[in-house]
Chain A
Amino acid sequence: MKDISRIKMGLSCPMPKFDFDSINLGHGSGGVLTHNLLNSGVFDVLQNDLLNKKHDGAIFELEGKLAFSTDSYVVNPVFFPGGNIGELAVNGTVNDLAMCGAMARYLSLSFIIEEGLPMEEFWNILNSIKYCCDNAGVQVVTGDTKVVEKGKGDKLFINTSGIGTLHKKASISFDRIAPGDVIIISGNIANHGIAIMSKRSGLEFETDIVSDTTNLNFTVQKLLNVFGEQIHFLRDATRGGVASVLNEIAKDGGMGIEIAEKAIPVAEQVNGACEMLGLDPLYVANEGVFIAVVDASVANDLVVLLRNDENGSNAALIGIVTNDHRGQVILQCAIGGKRVVNMLPGEQLPRIC
């Protein structure tokens, strides 16, 4: 698990004096307030050579094959145990690129802010973005800020897009998944979703479970350096959790998947919270866990390497790819029976009793 002491609030630079205590429509008008917010806020915190040019877009050169990805972040609450929306926005896109086998280089960053967002919260989120960019070795080089009326947003939405350079040995795609491949998970599942749930209005409960949000790009690069093309497929198990990723692999890869319930790592506290809430950890979101489908010949070595990495200490072999029951994920239950693991229909809703 990641070192919680790194959590970034304390690392924020002191907030400069802004005209207002909270964001208002004027901050998105393109006028004086926008300029003040950008110049003494965004640009100051995120500054780098490309961003400092304050052009409409960033101009740069990159060598080799590239990967390009985008994602939007609408999490509620925007601050949650172990992180905030800004961290997700950086780590999420960095990780999407990592799953392609790429090292993120440049990001775009767009805010859609609901008026009334306290300036201090915005400042803290901005500093978290800076912290996560530094951690992941990526730079924000272009962006946008819009403000919408109260009630038209949910505090803050963020979109990031990213460009990354592909690892020379990376060859990751659905069509490389083959029967006999082994499925590996990089760590304990369901922490992020449960951390969010514990703070969601109406469902709050006391826990010290924290989100697992982190950048996975260095971990993936390490794996690619050693195992290269033997890594057939990677995907981070974010929305919809591990079950959804495995179903995507089964359906889009046209393969059958078999996993063992006993092998899937879940922290005891998370398991307890899932029991209490009536949720299946297989469907709960993660932000720092990925699934790797790899050639069986390297599976054990890859798990050993992962376990020595700070993002993979609970890595485990959880299943195999098979020619049988194509398009389906079958779970070997801990007590011996078998069942199908389907895609989630809509949101997982907490049950009555």
Chain B
Amino acid sequence: MKYLSEYRDAAIVEKYLDEIRKLVTKPWTIMEVCGGQTHSLVKNGILSLLPEYVRMVHGPGCPVCVTPLHLIDKAVYLAEMEGVILCSYGDMLRVPGSKKSLLEAKAAGADVRILYSPLEAVKIAKDNPGKEIVFFAVGFETTAPANALSVLHAYREDLKNYSILTSHVLVPPAMEAIVDDEMNVVQGFLAAGHVCTIMGMDEYYPLVKKYKLPIVVTGFEPVDLLQGILMLLKQLENGECRLENQYTRFVKAEGNLDAKKIIQEVFEIADREWRGIGNIPFSGYEVKNEYATFDANKKFNIRLDKAEESKECIAGEILRGIKKPFECPQFGKGCTPIKPIGAPMVSSEGACAAYYHFSNMEAMA
């Protein structure tokens, strides 16, 4: 497939691996920020190909993983309300809330629909004037433009029955929170290529400057990832810290200006709670007051008791790169993708699920 197969070429992969093996003289800990990168690293068996000195830890860039428990509870609550159609991206459905998941609510009769695009939800709102349509707007900067656009479409068409339940999170503040943590182990980042396709690279210069950490904006295919790792290792071995762009075929320095304009029209930056990590200042988007009628949080004024996270789940340490999934006592025992305790075991981009699905290496040995 054009633009894909070139980046899955075994010969190029081997060439980069060879360069990495020759280059590395001491142990380094690198975090790939995005869950899509984690998925690709594990799915393509790259972790087993890297030399021992290169330790990859997996970042918080899985939207399913970091959506707080009380928001899942809110989504379930809304889904169970009479006359509400709750629309969501597919992999949010299995995430456990404090009592149940959206999938369980659906099984009990709630009208929960899996969509690819929030614009589809706007269409459902138009077709069902007697119902309230709520889109569970989860994600990083990547899904923000489409979610914002859905609000603009609903606004232009004067729809009164459409709103979004936002749980939008931003990558740079999370990276900062990870490095600021006293237990931080990360020495360099592979930044998320898709997020930078939208937002550009400007936000990352202050991070590099403040923390003296190299960052390489990296894509998702095996060749992308290995090239990104190689670029980062070169900096680390030379004692450099710069912002570099491996994903040049998509990422421009200024990002996607049209998409950014739409985001700015509808959203404003606010504090945000991250599941497993806690509150991070200025780390998410809220719907602006001008569009408050499309904000499900305000529209439905839901008051739920704040639920406690399971004490058995170490998602917080996993998402900050402090621990690996295998180091959790519940991994593959009490917590599996069929009955997950924590969110990283749910989405294919969650580190725990990726390890569970693809790398049962103990059994292979």
Please determine whether A275 and B1 come into contact, CB atoms closer than 8 angstroms. yes
A203 within 8 A of B: yes
Given A202-B115, A339-B359, verify A349-B90 contact (CB < 8 Å).
yes
Instruction: Report B24-60 CB contacts with A as 1/0, cut-off 8 Å.
Output: 0000000000001000001111111100000000000
Please determine whether B113 and A201 come into contact, CB atoms closer than 8 angstroms. yes
Bound-state CA distance A213–B183 (Å) is: 55
A342 within 8 A of B: yes
Please determine whether B139 and A352 come into contact, CB atoms closer than 8 angstroms. yes
B312 within 8 A of A: no
Bound-state CA distance A272–B5 (Å) is: 11
Please determine whether A353 and B364 come into contact, CB atoms closer than 8 angstroms. no
Q: Which residues of A contact B71 (CB under 8 A)?
A: none
Given A342-B357, A349-B94, A352-B63, verify A278-B348 contact (CB < 8 Å).
yes
Given A336-B49, A337-B46, A338-B45, verify A352-B338 contact (CB < 8 Å).
no
B315 within 8 A of A: no
Given A342-B357, A351-B89, verify A336-B13 contact (CB < 8 Å).
yes
A57 within 8 A of B: no
* Interface set, chain B 142-193, CB cutoff 8 A to A: 142-143
Q: Which residues of B contact A201 (CB under 8 A)?
A: 113
Please determine whether B337 and A352 come into contact, CB atoms closer than 8 angstroms. no
Bound-state CA distance A337–B361 (Å) is: 12
A325 within 8 A of B: yes
User: A334 is contacted by which of B8, B36, B114, B338 (Cβ under 8 Å)?
Assistant: B8
Bound-state CA distance A268–B363 (Å) is: 33
B91 within 8 A of A: yes
Please determine whether B363 and A340 come into contact, CB atoms closer than 8 angstroms. yes
* Interface set, chain B 335-365, CB cutoff 8 A to A: 336-338, 347-349, 356-361, 363-364
A320 CB to closest chain B CB (Å) equals 16
Residue of A at shortest CB range from B46? A337
Please determine whether A352 and B138 come into contact, CB atoms closer than 8 angstroms. yes
User: A353 is contacted by which of B120, B194, B358 (Cβ under 8 Å)?
Assistant: B194
Residue of B at shortest CB range from A205? B116
Instruction: Report B100-132 CB contacts with A as 1/0, cut-off 8 Å.
Output: 000100000000011110001000100000000
Please determine whether B45 and A202 come into contact, CB atoms closer than 8 angstroms. no
A143 CB to closest chain B CB (Å) equals 31
A350 within 8 A of B: yes
Residue of A at shortest CB range from B47? A337
Please determine whether A353 and B143 come into contact, CB atoms closer than 8 angstroms. yes
Q: How large is the interface on A (under 10, 10 to 19, 20 to 34, 35 or more residues)?
A: 20 to 34
Q: Which residues of A contact B222 (CB under 8 A)?
A: 335
Q: Which residues of A contact B348 (CB under 8 A)?
A: 278, 351
Instruction: Report A309-353 CB contacts with B as 1/0, cut-off 8 Å.
Output: 000000000000000010110100111111111100110011111
Bound-state CA distance A353–B42 (Å) is: 17
Bound-state CA distance A345–B64 (Å) is: 17
B10 within 8 A of A: yes
Bound-state CA distance A72–B44 (Å) is: 36
Please determine whether A328 and B360 come into contact, CB atoms closer than 8 angstroms. yes
Bound-state CA distance A335–B48 (Å) is: 12
Q: List 28 A-B contacts (CB under 8 A).
A: A202-B87, A202-B113, A202-B114, A202-B115, A205-B116, A271-B1, A275-B1, A328-B360, A330-B364, A333-B45, A334-B8, A335-B10, A338-B48, A339-B44, A339-B358, A340-B361, A345-B337, A346-B337, A349-B94, A350-B91, A351-B89, A351-B90, A352-B64, A352-B143, A352-B347, A353-B142, A353-B143, A353-B194
**Which A positions have Cβ atoms within 8 angstroms of B?**
201-203, 205, 268, 271-272, 275, 277-278, 325, 327-328, 330, 333-342, 345-346, 349-353
**Which B positions have Cβ atoms within 8 angstroms of A?**
1, 4, 8-10, 13-14, 36, 42-49, 63-64, 87, 89-94, 103, 113-116, 120, 124, 138-140, 142-143, 194, 222, 336-338, 347-349, 356-361, 363-364
- Starting from the known contacts A335-B13, A336-B13, 20 additional A-B residue pairs (CB-CB under 8 Å) come to A202-B124, A205-B116, A335-B9, A335-B46, A337-B47, A337-B48, A337-B49, A340-B357, A341-B358, A345-B338, A346-B337, A349-B93, A350-B89, A351-B347, A352-B64, A352-B90, A352-B92, A352-B347, A353-B143, A353-B194
